[in-house]
């Protein structure tokens, strides 16, 4: 007689939040969500008076994502979680941040500026992965690069929201890009623990 497999628990919103930002406590989660809300409201209201409610809503949503992410990547639990990401996953994360192209699509800036911001984030992430993947100085180097890029962007932006470039570059280069990769032995132990967990689950089903 075979045992029935135990029903697997469905992933809820809390599980999705943990996969996204790591095991943050209630206080840290509130800080992330509060900063995202404050940034979104401020950017949305500012843009509404300038370009109308539709584009104001878009700017608010973009700001909420960028500001929340910028704050999140300063928190140790999030940094530890992303430190275990592979180089491919890190580059994919940046490639999926297509936010700069939302601005020219809504007539809030030019395409050349959008491409330069996107290319800067991707290039800086790739360079950090190649030159100082596990270096203890990676965070410092990333913040220096992000600050320089943000200053240049802010000083040369003539159209569109001036906050966008500095916040976008700070999140992706200084925040996400500044997380050193976990040592090889840590990642090996993590892979071993996953294999053991799968083996235990397989044994329990028999």
- Write down the pTM of the prediction: 0.81
pLDDT of residue 6: 54
Coil vs helix vs strand at 150: helix
- For residues 142 and 137, give the distance between their C-alpha atoms in angstroms, rounded to a whole number: 9
Q: What is the pLDDT along the chain (206 residues), one digit of tens a residue?
A: 445 555 554 556 677 888 888 888 999 999 999 999 999 999 999 999 888 999 999 999 999 999 999 999 999 999 999 999 888 999 999 999 999 999 999 999 999 999 999 999 999 999 999 999 999 999 999 999 999 999 999 999 988 899 999 999 999 999 999 999 988 754 445 554 454 445 445 444 54
CB 93 within 8 A of CB 128: no
* Domain ranges (residues) in the chain: 26-72, 86-206
What secondary structure does DSSP assign to 2-51, as a single string? PPPPPPPPPP-HHHHHHHHH-S--HHHHHHHHHHHHHHHHHHHHHHHHHH
Per-residue model confidence (pLDDT) at position 22: 84
Decide if 106 contacts 58 (C-beta within 8 A): yes
Would you tell me how many other CB atoms lie within 10 Å of the CB of residue 33? Answer: 16
């Amino acid at each position: 007689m075979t045992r029935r497999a135990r029903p697997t628990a469905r992933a809820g919103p809390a599980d999705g939040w943990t996969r996204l930002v790591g095991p943050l406590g209630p206080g840290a989660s509130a800080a992330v969500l509060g900063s995202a809300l404050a940034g979104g409201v401020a950017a949305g209201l500012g843009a509404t008076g300038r370009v109308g409610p539709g584009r104001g809503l878009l700017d608010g949503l973009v700001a909420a994502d960028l500001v929340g992410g910028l704050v999140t990547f300063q928190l140790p639990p999030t940094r530890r979680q992303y430190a275990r990401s592979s180089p491919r996953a890190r580059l994919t994360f940046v490639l999926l941040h297509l936010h700069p192209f939302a601005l020219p699509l809504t007539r809030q800036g030019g395409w050349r500026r959008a491409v330069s911001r996107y290319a800067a984030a991707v290039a800086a992430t790739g360079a950090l992965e190649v030159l100082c993947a596990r270096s203890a100085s990676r965070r410092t180097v990333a913040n220096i690069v992000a600050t320089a890029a943000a200053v240049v962007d802010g000083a040369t932006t003539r159209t569109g929201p001036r906050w966008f470039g500095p916040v976008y570059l700070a999140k992706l280069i200084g925040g996400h890009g500044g997380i050193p990769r976990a040592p090889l032995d840590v990642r090996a132990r993590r892979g071993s623990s996953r294999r053991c967990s799968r083996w235990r689950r397989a044994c329990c089903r028999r």
